[in-house]
Amino acid sequence: MSESKRLLDTAARLIPGGVNSPVRAFRAVGGQPPFIARAEGARVWDVDGRSFVDFVGSWGPLVLGHAAGPVVAAIVDAAGRGTSYGAPTAGEVEMAEAVTAAFPSIEMVRLVSSGTEAAMSAIRVARGATGRDLLLKFDGCYHGHADSLLVKAGSGGATFGIPDSAGVPAALAALTLTAPFNDLDAVRDLFRARGGDIAAVIVEPVAGNMGVVPPAPGFLEGLREVTQAHGAVLIFDEVITGFRVAYGGAQERYGVQADLTCLGKIIGGGLPVGAYGGRRRLMERVAPLGPVYQAGTLSGNPLAVAAGLATLRALARDGAYDRLEALGARLERGLVDAAARAGVPATVNRVGSMLTGFFCDGPVRDYAGARRADTGRYARFFQAMLARGIALAPSQFEAAFVSLAHTEADLDLAIGAAAEAMAEAR
Ligand code: HOZ
């Protein structure tokens, strides 16, 4: 029996599904997750000594790759000075400066410990500021697992067919309106009907949790316009896209500014972190300045902040995003060609270094489109790739991430494997 299998058997008795986050469980693709022993650069090694070129990247944070030298050094240095103080630090100030400099729409920022917390808190600020209760989100977008947001949710919600979680009070779910991603008319209709009650629109400006779906031209601009016209708060969930699709996130890439922004992943360099921030008039409502309460013992944790700052410094170097773009484009081209050669219907959606190959004819521009993908074929493809040493997300409804640690050779290995895996998955 493999060591991964032995660990999974034990884990399954002690941890729900044997995993600490459902998408890791491989339920959508079959088989068993390798238990990871170590990782470096673009590779991970499991406890059985197998190695994989990794396109999961811890689901987004590892834009520099695993165990990047400056990040590890920053963590070690910070840890030597204490792991948590529950008191303010210079690092938090530096992080606030870095975030506000990168995102002109963020005038004040609060650090938390996860993307879930960031989204949950941003919504509370929007409700507190507007005195309204309704929230509008998009089908297949995922903003963490807070009650109000587990409505038509992507990521694990899409993967496991539980987009509306049990345990969310119906009265609370009723406060969350939904519309199809990229459907501005549906948004306008909802605002016409209930605009005076809508506190906020929350959106992943590039959807990453139904697979990657870019915003249609004019969609983000339209959201900006309609929210402004109705006095609602526009929240961009840039937990994945922040510092990923551009240094200043989707807001820089598409030239549309949010009122509030949620960040996470990259700003923690692979350690648990989140942040929400935005207009001063909104953020001044947060305690202790204002009446919206939000707190956390480990918020702004010095290790996470040190890892995040080291990551941002590396990303700020010339050429980082050109390199990510070039690598992403190479992988996209390779996957498109491989699918064409195998005669497999596929649509590759990519924004910079995040991409998803959907097993269906295109275009995929919303959750209904993503759901047309052949998930059985994805599962077979996934297993065939894993067998060839390539680790993808174990679900059709997630993104693949390229990092600065990936080389052209890594990508060519993945593309070669994909050509074979597509033929096998046919
Ligand atoms: N799509 C999820 C985060 N954006 C994957 C991570 C998880 O749920 O464990």
- HEC sequence for 173-198: HCCEEEECCCCHHHHHHHHHHHHHHE
Residue 137 is among the residues annotated as catalytic for this protein = no
- Chosen domain end from 288, 315, 342: 315
- Residues 197-223, mean pLDDT to the nearest whole number: 98
DSSP assignment letter at 39: E
Residues 79 and 53 in one domain: no
**Least-confidence region, from 49-53, 100-104, 154-158, 279-283:** 154-158
Q: Is 318 a catalytic residue?
A: no
Read off the pLDDT band of 383 (50, 70, 90): very high
142 catalytically annotated: yes
243 and 205 in one domain? yes
Average pLDDT for 216-220: 98
Residue 63 in contact with residue 243, Cβ under 8 Å? yes
Q: pLDDT tens digit string along 260-309? A: 999 999 999 999 999 999 999 999 999 999 999 999 999 999 999 999 99
The residues that bridge with 292 in the sheet, in sequence order, are 286
Which of the following is catalytic: 139, 237, 259, 410?
237
- Between strands 51-54 and 134-138, the pairing is unpaired
Residue 52 belongs to what domain range?
A: 3-67+318-424
* Residue appearing with tokens 């599962």: 379
Helix 302-315 × helix 90-102 angle, to 10°? 40
Cα–Cα distance for residue pair 163/314, rounded to 1 Å:
37
The SS3 call for residue 381 is: helix
Last residue of a domain, one of 289, 315, 341: 315
Ligand 1 contacts CB of residue 155 (under 6 A): yes
Distance, in Å, from the CA atom of 305 to the CA atom of 325, rounded to the nearest integer, reads 26
Residue 209 near ligand 1, beta carbon < 6 Å: yes
Question: Do 146 and 215 belong to one domain?
Answer: yes
Pick the residue whose CA is nearest to atom 5 on ligand 1: 59
pLDDT at site 312? 98
Residues 343 and 363 in one domain: yes
* C-alpha 331 to ligand 1 mean position (Å): 22
Which residue, 315, 347, 381, sits at the end of a domain? 315
Q: pTM of the prediction?
A: 0.98
The Å distance, Cα 286 to ligand 1 centre, comes to 27
Chain mean pLDDT for the chain: 97
The Å distance, Cα 114 to ligand 1 centre, comes to 11
Residue percentage of the chain with pLDDT more than 90: 97
pLDDT at residue 161, rounded to an integer: 85
Query: What are phi and psi for residue 366, nearest 5 degrees?
Result: -160, -175
CA of residue 189 to ligand 1 center, whole Å: 31
Which one from 54, 139, 142, 366 is the annotated catalytic residue? 142
Helices then strands, each counted (H, E), the chain: 15, 14
Task: Report residue 162's pLDDT band, with 50, 70 and 90 as the boundaries.
Answer: confident
How many Å lie between the centroid of ligand 1 and the Cα of residue 14?
21
Q: For a ligand 1 pocket test, name from 15, 19, 20, 21 the mutation site with the most ligand atoms within 8 angstroms of its C-beta.
A: 21
| CATH code of 164's domain | 3.40.640.10
For residue 232, pLDDT beyond 90: yes
Beta bridge partners of 260: 235, 278
Same domain? 239 vs 352 = no
Q: Which of 15, 20, 23, 401 should be mutated for ligand 1, with most atoms under 8 A from CB?
A: 23
Has residue 417 got a pLDDT over 90?
A: yes
Contact 393 CB / ligand 1 (< 6 Å): no
HSE value, Cβ hemisphere, 13 Å, CA-based, for 40: 2
Site to substitute for ligand 1 among 114, 155, 401, most atoms within 8 A of C-beta: 155
Residue 423 pLDDT > 90, yes or no? yes
Q: How far is the CA of 131 from the centre of ligand 1 (A)?
A: 31
pLDDT level of residue 407 (50, 70, 90 thresholds): very high
Specify the residue with its C-alpha closest to ligand 1, atom 6.
59
Distance between CA atoms of 91 and 19, rounded to whole angstroms?
A: 32
Q: Is the CB of 346 under 6 A from ligand 1?
A: no
pLDDT computed for residue 143 by the predictor:
98
- Nearest protein Cα to ligand 1, atom 3: 59
DSSP conformational letter for 64: T
Predicted confidence (pLDDT) per residue in 55-67, tens digit: 999 999 999 999 9
- Are 308 and 333 found together in one domain? no
Q: What is the whole-number distance in angstroms between the Cα of residue 79 and the centre of ligand 1? A: 27
* Residue 212 confidence (pLDDT): 98
CA 239 to ligand 1 center in whole angstroms? 10
Q: Which pLDDT belongs to residue 163?
A: 86
Q: Is the CB of 21 under 6 A from ligand 1?
A: yes
Verify that 96 and 76 share a domain, yes or no: yes
The total domain count for the chain is: 2
Beta bridge partners of 400: 355
Q: Which contacts of 163-170 are long-range, i.e. CB under 8 A and separated by 24 or more positions?
A: none
Domain shared by 148 and 292, yes or no:
yes
pLDDT-derived band at 109 (thresholds 50, 70, 90) equals very high
One domain for residues 103 and 248: yes
Which domain CATH number covers 387?
3.90.1150.10
- The mean per-residue pLDDT over the stretch 332-344 comes to 97
Question: Residue 40: what pLDDT?
Answer: 98
Considering the domain architecture, whether residues 47 and 176 belong to the same structural domain is answered as no
User: Does residue 222 share a domain with residue 334?
Assistant: no
Atom number of ligand 1 nearest to Cα 239: 4
**Residue with token string 């990521």:** 155
- 332-352 average pLDDT score: 97
- Mutational test site, ligand 1, from 20, 24, 26, 59, max ligand atoms within 8 Å of CB: 59
Question: Are 203 and 336 part of one and the same domain?
Answer: no
Q: What is the reported pLDDT for 351?
A: 98
Lowest mean pLDDT among 69-73, 119-123, 149-153: 149-153
Q: Is 20 in the pocket of ligand 1 (CB under 6 A)?
A: no
Q: Quote the tokens at residue 369.
A: 């489109």
